[in-house]
Amino acid sequence: DIQMTQSPSSLSASVGDRVTVTCRASQTISSYLNWYQQRPGKAPNFLIYAASTLQTGVPSRFSGSGSGTDFTLTITSLQPEDFATYYCQQSYSIPWTFGQGTKVEI
Amino acid sequence: QLQLEESGPGLVKPSETLSLTCTVSGGSISSLTHYWGWIRQAPGTGLEWIGSIYYTGSTNYNSSLKSRVTISVDTSKNQFSLKLTSVTAADSAVYFCARRVDLGGSLKFFDNWGQGALVTVSS
């Protein structure tokens, strides 16, 4: 199975900050990397696919980059509604696996 | 607007079978470009993909659960279901159903999720 490792596990930030979350795959996954946001008690919300393509309706302050084994999610100008946990997920091979999550806290 | 809703018992006894159903509304489960999946999240932990099904009945399962999992589809009811046998406390989790988009090759993602159903395994 491909292991996905996110860093940091949590971070503290303020409204208006620029935030970067890193995701590393245990083997190359090309650009088959997705990002999700999960607010407490809610279902995950799909943000980005193919490492850098924003889902329709996702604010442009979110961006993704990377390929191979190393990927990043960046949020420019953090907004109050962005405080949540973010998960990466690889779709390169079954079983599809998620990172352990990065909690973005105030 | 597509909506998914999980239903089923919230409490299951150890060694018994967990059964959940996902009802899809606002769209057809017989879509040619979508699969339907189950993902779970144990308390305070991350997400684990359980398996997926196409409207034809074709399935993919996580090998870690494959011997205990069955996912089925009922196109007449626009529903798909999960059965997990021989459950233990480790199977206690929030179970999400979700729609999987397939854009070709390995370009796949879960774009619509149900709100989740908490299942506790306890005697």
Percent of chain A's residues with pLDDT above 70? 100
- pLDDT for position B45: 86
Q: Does A95 sit behind a cis peptide bond, omega within 30 degrees of 0 on the bond before it?
A: yes
Chain A interface mutation, best of B36, B47, B60, highest count of A Cβ atoms under 10 Å:
B47
Search chain A and give the residue with CA nearest B50: A95
Whether B106 sits inside 8 A of A92 (CB atoms) is yes
**Where does chain A have alpha helices with state H?**
none
Q: Is the pLDDT of residue A91 over 90?
A: yes
Mean pLDDT, range A2-29, rounded to an integer? 97
Q: Residue B46: which of A91, A92, A100 has the nearest Cβ? A: A100
Separation CA B92–CA A79 (nearest Å) = 33
What separation, in Å, do the N-terminal and C-terminal C-alpha atoms of chain A show? 34
Q: Is the pLDDT of residue B37 over 90?
A: yes
- pLDDT for position A20: 98
* pLDDT: which is higher, A106 or B109: B109
Contact B56, B112 (CB under 8 A): no
pLDDT digits (tens, 9 = 90+) for A52-76: 999 999 999 999 999 999 999 999 9
pLDDT digits (tens, 9 = 90+) for B46-97: 899 999 999 999 999 999 998 999 999 999 999 999 999 999 999 999 999 9
- pLDDT for position B104: 86
Helices (H) and strands (E) in chain A, counts: 0, 11
Q: And the tokens for B78?
A: 């626009």
Search chain B and give the residue with CA nearest A100: B46
Give the side-chain half-sphere CA count within 13 A for B55. Answer: 14
**What integer best gives the mean pLDDT of chain B?**
96
- pLDDT for position B44: 83
B13: left (phi over 0), alpha (psi -120 to 50) or beta: beta
Separation CA B49–CA B108 (nearest Å) = 13
Contact B79, B25 (CB under 8 A): no
Contacts of B61 (CB under 8 A, 6+ apart): B50, B51, B69, B71
Search chain B and give the residue with CA nearest A94: B62
Q: What secondary structure letter does DSSP report for B86?
A: S
- Select from B96, B103, B95 the least CA-distant residue to B120: B95
| Nearest CA-CA distance, residue B39 and chain A, Å | 10
Whether A42 sits inside 8 A of B46 (CB atoms) is no
- Select from A49, A54, A98 the least CA-distant residue to A75: A54
Chain A interface mutation, best of B106, B111, B112, B118, highest count of A Cβ atoms under 10 Å:
B106
Separation CA B114–CA A5 (nearest Å) = 26
Q: Is the pLDDT of residue B105 over 90?
A: no
- pLDDT for position B66: 87
| Nearest CA-CA distance, residue A14 and chain B, Å | 24
Q: Is the pLDDT of residue B41 over 90?
A: yes
Contacts of B105 (CB under 8 A, 6+ apart): none
Chain A interface mutation, best of B41, B52, B110, highest count of A Cβ atoms under 10 Å:
B110
- pLDDT for position A106: 84
Kindly provide the residue ranges of all beta strands, DSSP E only, lying in B33-116, ordered along the sequence.
Answer: 34-41, 47-53, 59-61, 69-74, 79-84, 93-102, 108-113
Q: Is the pLDDT of residue A81 over 90?
A: yes
